[in-house]
Amino acid sequence: MRIVSPHLGAASAFSGIILFIGLALILLESATRYSRRQSLSK
């Protein structure tokens, strides 16, 4: 049990980082799409 718990903690932290990066990428994509739409309308 002692060997498994640190690995689980590391895995949860890793998944948290991946989740944060994923959210950042989604925000970036939506921002670039919005700017493209604005430039196309002009």
pLDDT score recorded for residue 42 = 64
Could you report the per-residue pLDDT of 1-42, keeping only the tens digit for each? Answer: 455 556 667 778 889 999 999 999 999 999 999 888 888 776
Q: Is 24 exposed, middle or buried (0-12, 13-18, 19+ CB in 10 A)?
A: exposed
- With DSSP H G I counted as helix, E B as strand and the rest as coil, what are the percentages for the chain, rounded to 5? 90, 0, 10
- What's the pLDDT score for residue 27? 97
Residue 16 is part of which domain span? 1-42
Structure confidence at residue 37 (pLDDT)? 83
pLDDT of res. 34: 87
Residues, the chain: 42
Count up the domains in the chain and report the number: 1
pTM: 0.60
